[in-house]
């Protein structure tokens, strides 16, 4: 039995899309999975009523306060203890649920996750890990925005976190890690990436492919690509924009018959970020999945699927094992 808390008050389209996403997930996820909607009980019940009878494995925990997207994270989570973000993560801390999913204020979700759940021993900072599609296989990019400035040792920690995720979720026993840089040569890059290259080379915990350039991220040659959150967030936003742009270009240039073909539907799915679910916040003692603020019900449902997968494979426990038992220092 796995119980996942979903922030029903988080995101630009709450509670409409979170509730619809929960109902979609309830139809497709195993019956052993329960979904706990966290937010204003009155708003959630009103939204659920629009969809007919509520499945028995969807429940509600009242959290009357909301954290807006533009609020300062630390101030908000300290002053709004009955917000959906704080209440949802407290449910995980107390063991009432095994995971938390939110499309709400990213900074608040990160801060509350770190304060409520804590970090695994050896982890200096948590990292947002984003799954990117390629023509060969999925690639994990981290950090995608949690940490703007990172030390070389923190980059090594991100690589180790990503390697555990790749083994558990991608089912790749020997993941290959690349360091995002402006050139393949070891001497290229800024001070942090130059030093990190040496640390990556000397590590005993993952295979290091060396430096990879921006054009190599989507080749699928690596399982994990590591960078600081400043660069990672720019890469992520650029790729999302490229997907939307190409989709719009196809729809404008091709006739309806071609657009409805199986090949084109496959391309649209490939370019649609909502198909890949949310981004795990790796390094915290538990499972937190961060969704895009504009997430649709489809994206929410897929994020719940990612959360369930993370629980089922014991991702958090395996991160603990890697960092503590193997003596890794992030």
Helical ranges in the chain per DSSP H: 16-28, 41-49, 73-79, 84-93, 106-117, 152-168, 191-202, 229-253, 256-259, 262-271, 297-312, 315-320
Supply the DSSP symbol for 13.
T
pLDDT digits (tens, 9 = 90+) for 198-252: 999 988 889 999 999 998 888 888 999 999 999 999 988 887 776 667 667 767 7
Strand 139-142, strand 130-132: pairing: antiparallel
Rounded CA separation 36/321 (Å): 29
pLDDT digits (tens, 9 = 90+) for 248-297: 776 776 666 655 666 656 555 555 555 667 899 999 999 999 998 888 99
Rounded CA separation 194/134 (Å): 27
> Percentage of the chain with pLDDT > 90?
72
Rounded CA separation 178/225 (Å): 5
What mean pLDDT comes out for the span 66-94? 96
Does the pTM surpass 0.85? The reply is yes
| Contact of 149 with 228, CB cutoff 8 Å | yes
Angle at 166 between CA 35 and CA 202, to 5 degrees: 140
Rounded CA separation 123/284 (Å): 8
| Contact of 210 with 184, CB cutoff 8 Å | yes
pLDDT of amino acid 277: 72
**Mean of per-residue pLDDT scores for the chain:** 89
What mean pLDDT comes out for the span 138-166? 94
SS3 2: strand
């Amino acid at each position: 039995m796995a119980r996942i808390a979903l922030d029903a008050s988080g995101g630009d389209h709450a509670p409409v899309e979170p509730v619809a996403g929960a109902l979609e997930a309830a139809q497709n996820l195993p019956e052993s999975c329960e979904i706990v909607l966290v937010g204003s009980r009155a708003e959630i019940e009103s939204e659920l009523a629009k969809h007919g009878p509520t499945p028995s494995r969807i429940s509600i925990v009242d959290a009357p306060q909301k954290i807006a997207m533009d609020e300062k994270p630390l101030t908000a989570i300290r002053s709004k203890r009955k917000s959906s973000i704080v209440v949802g993560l407290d449910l995980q801390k107390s063991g009432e649920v095994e995971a938390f999913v939110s499309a709400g204020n990213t900074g608040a979700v990160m801060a509350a996750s770190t304060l409520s759940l804590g970090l695994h021993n050896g982890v200096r900072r948590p990292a947002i890990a984003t799954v990117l599609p390629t023509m060969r296989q999925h690639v994990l990019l981290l950090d995608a925005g949690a940490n703007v400035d990172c030390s070389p040792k923190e980059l090594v920690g991100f690589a180790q976190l990503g390697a555990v995720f790749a083994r558990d979720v991608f089912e790749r026993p020997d993941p290959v890690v690349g360091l995002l840089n402006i050139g393949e040569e070891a001497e290229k890059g800024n001070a942090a990436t130059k030093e990190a290259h040496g640390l990556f080379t000397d590590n005993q915990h993952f295979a290091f492919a060396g430096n990879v350039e921006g054009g190599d991220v989507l080749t699928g040659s690596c399982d994990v690509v590591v960078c600081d959150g400043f660069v990672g967030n720019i890469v992520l936003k650029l790729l999302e924009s490229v997907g939307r742009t190409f989709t719009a270009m196809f729809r404008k240039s091709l006739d309806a018959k071609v657009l409805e073909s199986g090949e084109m539907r496959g391309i649209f799915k490939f370019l649609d970020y909502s198909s890949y679910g949310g981004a795990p916040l790796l390094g915290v003692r538990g499972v937190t999945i961060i969704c895009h603020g504009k997430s649709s019900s489809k994206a929410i449902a897929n994020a719940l699927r990612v959360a369930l997968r993370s629980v089922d494979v014991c991702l958090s426990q395996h991160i603990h094992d890697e960092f503590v038992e193997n003596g890794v220092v992030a």
